[in-house]
Each structure stands twice: as structure tokens, then as C-alpha cells.
Chain A
Amino acid sequence: MTRETAIHWVAKPLVFASALIPLAWVAWAAVSSGLGPTGPLGANPIEYINRFLGDWTIRFLLLALAVTPVRGITGWTPLIRFRRMIGLFAFFYACMHVSSYIGLDQFFDWTEIWKDIDKRNYITVGMATFVLLAPLAATSTKGMIKRLGGKRWTRLHKLIYVAGIMACLHFYMMRKGVQLEPIIYASICAVLLGYRVAAHLKKKARAGKAENPDRAGAGAGAGHR
């Protein structure tokens, strides 16, 4: 088996299936408890489901953001082959999270939902993050990359940095008091984005030292996304 077939036929399906485990578990728990207060989801299953899906959205977002740094540090290039899938799962869980908010938490009370988006800052930020992720998911196909052109596509997909920051902000704002979990997620996000800033500065310094007039070459090598 070549590495190509191993990635395509074994590793990718494995990652795909693993990424569905959280959803499968919470769906099973929701159905088996009938959303009652004494099942595996605790006394307030709707809150549990909503937060659980939100947690996994942030986790996949951070995982997607971790691909480039981990690849840079370990030099393990095949990792990049999983980035799109992980990113799409982040969007998938974001969709589930928003759906559970609309369908379970608010039960399609559109007036309340609109008031929430309008007035509650953490929901405003959360919804904006979701809206930001949508074009990234929509342009994730090979065809779209071609149509947009590599440079424009790359620039557009830098929005994932903003989405990562906003997702962490949304989480932090939602909790009462100063709580540890949102701070942990925000710190991870800061490290992952900090790596890019550092890599960028390093590259700039190197380019400056070499005094290489071939700037086009440096620009095209926008490998650090």
C-alpha cells in the first residue's frame, strides 16, 4: 500500500468517523433519555447539548488552526491533507450548535432569537462567527480554489484566524465570572496564531537579510497560513 492509498482509504475515513463520535454520542444520549432530566445529559439536557456542540465547534476550529504549526514543527507534511476535513467538521459542528440553539433552546421563537442576536453580545459574536465560517466552507472544494485562484483563496481563508478569535471570545463572554475553560481555549488559540506571527516575522527578517530583490518569489510562498 502506498502512502497515498493509506491516507485516502484508511487514515481519512478513520479521521472522518472519529470526528462523528461526539455527535453520535450526544444524539444517542438525547434520544435514549428523551431529553428528560435524569439521563446521561444531566438535569438540563438542552443546555448540555448546546454547550457540548459549541465545545466541539471550538475544538475542531483549534484543531484546524493547529495543522500548520504542527506540520511546521514536526515536518510531517501529510498532515495538510486533513486540514480541509477538520475545518469542515468545525463548520459542521457550528451548524449543529446553531441548530440546537434555534430548534431546542429557543424552539424557533424567532422574535426571541432576533432579540438575542441584537442585544446579547455573546450571541452576536457567536452568530457572526458562524456567518464568517460559511464562505470558508462553501469555497473549500478544489473547484472553488481554482475559480478563486490560489492567492485570493488564501487571503479569504485567513478569515479562519478571525473566526478562531471570535469563537474564543464568544465562549469567554458566555460564562459567568472568571472561569478557567474559556481561558484555556483562548490561550491555545493565542499560541496557534502566535506561531504564525513568529513564522511571518522570521521569514521577513530572513528575506531582509538576504536582500533578495526577487520579492514575487517570497510572496508566492505563502505557505504559512
Chain B
Amino acid sequence: MLVKFSKASEVKPSEITSKAFYLDRRCFLMTAAVAGAGAAFGTIAPPVFAAQGNPRVKLSGVQKSKWTQEALGEELTDYGPITKYNNFYEFGTGKTDPSEYSQDFKTKPWSLTIDGAVEKPGVYDLEDFLKPHQLEERVYRMRCVEAWSMVIPWVGIPLSDIIKRVGIKSDAKYVAFETLLDPEQMRGQKRPVLKWPYKEGLRIDEAMNPLTIMAVGLYGEVMPNQNGAPFRLVVPWKYGFKGIKSIVRMTFQATEPPTAWNVASPREYGFYSNVNPTKNHPRWSQAKERRIGDFLKRPTLMFNGYKEEVSQMYAGMDLRKLY
């Protein structure tokens, strides 16, 4: 494609770029749909924002879900910002550190330990583990606790499918997640920014909620390393940091598991961390957010706009206290 730049006063370069992405995205969505029907196409055109070193690999057999962009009615965030603006402190605290320093991160083979109160505990090879599952696309809002947001087309599987497969016991009230601990590969873990490895957790009803997915990709492609490859959690009604990345362990247990940010600063980050515009972070307001690409902030929605799907789980709870 020929991209001609004119004077800044006439057309902003960003507008051109984003249109290029827009077209690229359309092209991809079509390909994805066709691929989903079983007819795999060739790869799509090399994108402007290809991650250095790591080729973008298309996922085959991705099905659409009811959580489409059309259903959400909001524009997708471009692939570029999604993969160049990340909080993944294991690779550094700067927003571009993850994309810069995760390129050599080895995600294959990947072993996933499932233990605790389950019928079928074990150490699984991730690829084998995922094989029986149907991948689907979920277009979700992502609201970071830092008051910015994106709309991301994830590819993943419902966590409930996994839970049903491994069969949890009756005392499994919570699921705890753990990120890989490997300071050699994850340079950010050499510094005590947080207590490594990163830990997260969900109540079992939250884990079973149809919105909750384990994601393995985005934009129809294999998950970029900086976005939490190869296997991460996505819980769209909670702040982004609940979406733990590069998961190696899932433990089902009776007690509420410790979570990384809560351990670091309990006053600021609670176990639930539901998106809540009425409960401010002690250091900043959560009433509004800046959608990446927008100039003006927009109001933040209760449960990030997923009230209908999730609010019943918190009936009777004081969410300003149990934040």
C-alpha cells in the first residue's frame, strides 16, 4: 500500500496510519472468519507493527462468539498499541519494555501444572492440554487500573470449560494462578518491584462466569509474548492487572489466595479489583478513563460495562469495602 504523507496541517499522519490498520483489521477479520469455517488461508500482509524477531502466526479454527465487535459497538484498538503499550513488569516497568525485552521469551514447550482440589491434577504440556478445546474470539474492553483502556479481540477458551474438564472437588472455592518465575528470561524479575512470581486469583463463581477466558491469542494470531504468551487470564470486568500472564500453575483451593498487587499495597489493590468508577484508587480517580487513541477521557462504566453478566455474583457485598 502506498502511504503518502502530506503536510501535517492537512492530514495527520496518525489518521493515515490508523486507516491502514483499519483496513488491515478488516482484511484479517475476514480471513479469520473464513479460517474459522475450516478453509485456512495464507498469512495476511506483514503489519507495520510486527514484533521484532517474532513472526506473527495465525491461529486456525477460531470460532466467533457472541462477544463480537459489532455486539460491543466500540472500535477495536489497533494491533500496534495493543502490542506496544503493555504493563508486564516481568519484562520491565516501562510501557514499551515488554515488547522490547520479551522477544526471546520461550513459550514452547510450556508446562502447566493443575493441582489442588481437582479430580484430574497433573502437569500438562500446554499444547496438548489445549487441543480438545474450541478456540473462540472474544472482543472485550480492557480497563487498566491506571485509567486507560482498550478494546481487544482476544482468542481463547472459557475457563469454565477447563474447570469442567479437570473436575473440581467441592472444597474448591477459589482458583489461584501463578506466572512463570524465570529471571534469566524475565529480566524484570531481577528487581523486587513486586514479590515474584506474580500471583492472582478468582473466586470459583468468577472463574466459572461465561465472560472469563484463558486467552492464547489476539487479533486471530498467537499471543504476542508481551501480552502474556502463551496462556493468560482475561476477566474483562476487572482491572487489567487481574489478567495474570504467562501462567504455569492453577491451584484450586478452599481459601482466598494471595494476589501480587494486594500483597504489594493492600490499601490500593483488593482481591476483587472489579472496575468501579465510584471507588477511587487512593492516588487517582477511577471515574474516567482514556481509551487509547482518544483525546478526551470517557466515563468508566461499572464492572467495565459488564454489569448484566456479573453483578449478581456480588449481590449483598459492599464493593467499596471489598474492592
Please tell me which one of the listed residues A31, A112, A119, A179 contacts residue B193 in the complex, with CB atoms under 8 A apart. A179
**Stretch of B52-60, B76-84, B224-232 contacting A (4+ beta carbons < 8 Å):** B76-84
Please tell me which one of the listed residues B191, B287, B288, B290 contacts residue A44 in the complex, with CB atoms under 8 A apart. B290
> A177 touching B295 by the CB < 8 A rule?
no
Q: In the complex the two chains form, what is the Cα distance from A116 to B81 in whole Å?
A: 27
In the complex, what residues of A have CB within 8 A of residue B295's CB? 35, 46, 107
In the complex, what residues of A have CB within 8 A of residue B283's CB? 120-122, 173-174
> B13 touching A177 by the CB < 8 A rule?
no
Q: In the complex the two chains form, what is the Cα distance from A119 to B292 in whole Å?
A: 25
Among B48, B96, B290, B293, chain A packs the most CB atoms within 10 A around the CB of B293
In the complex, what residues of B have CB within 8 A of residue A31's CB? 8
Chain A contacts with B in 137-183, Cβ cutoff 8 A? 173-180
Among A34, A115, A119, A121, chain B packs the most CB atoms within 10 A around the CB of A34
> How many of chain B's residues have a CB under 8 angstroms from any CB in A?
41
Chain B contacts with A in 253-302, Cβ cutoff 8 A? 264-265, 280, 282-285, 287-288, 290, 292-293, 295-297
Given A44-B292, A121-B283, A177-B264, also A34-B14 (CB < 8 A): yes
Q: In the complex the two chains form, what is the Cα distance from A36 to B282 in whole Å?
A: 29
Please tell me which one of the listed residues A32, A33, A44, A179 contacts residue B95 in the complex, with CB atoms under 8 A apart. A44
> A36 touching B191 by the CB < 8 A rule?
no
> B78 touching A38 by the CB < 8 A rule?
yes
> B85 touching A38 by the CB < 8 A rule?
no
Q: Does B194 contact A (CB under 8 A)?
A: yes
In the complex, what residues of B have CB within 8 A of residue A175's CB? 93
> B14 touching A39 by the CB < 8 A rule?
yes
Q: In the complex the two chains form, what is the Cα distance from A6 to B131 in whole Å?
A: 74
Q: Does B18 contact A (CB under 8 A)?
A: yes
Q: Does B26 contact A (CB under 8 A)?
A: no
> A37 touching B292 by the CB < 8 A rule?
yes
B314 to chain A, nearest CB (A): 25
Q: In the complex the two chains form, what is the Cα distance from A112 to B297 in whole Å?
A: 12
In the complex, what residues of A have CB within 8 A of residue B265's CB? 176-177
In the complex, what residues of A have CB within 8 A of residue B296's CB? 107
Given A35-B295, A36-B293, A107-B297, also A43-B80 (CB < 8 A): yes
What are 14 A-B contacts defined by CB distance under 8 Å? A32-B8, A33-B14, A36-B12, A37-B85, A38-B14, A38-B49, A38-B78, A44-B95, A107-B296, A120-B282, A177-B93, A177-B265, A178-B193, A180-B93
Interface residues of B (CB under 8 A from A): 8, 12-15, 17-18, 21, 48-49, 77-78, 80-81, 84-85, 89, 93, 95-96, 146, 148, 191-194, 264-265, 280, 282-285, 287-288, 290, 292-293, 295-297
Interface residues of A (CB under 8 A from B): 31-39, 42-44, 46-47, 107, 112, 115-116, 119-122, 173-180
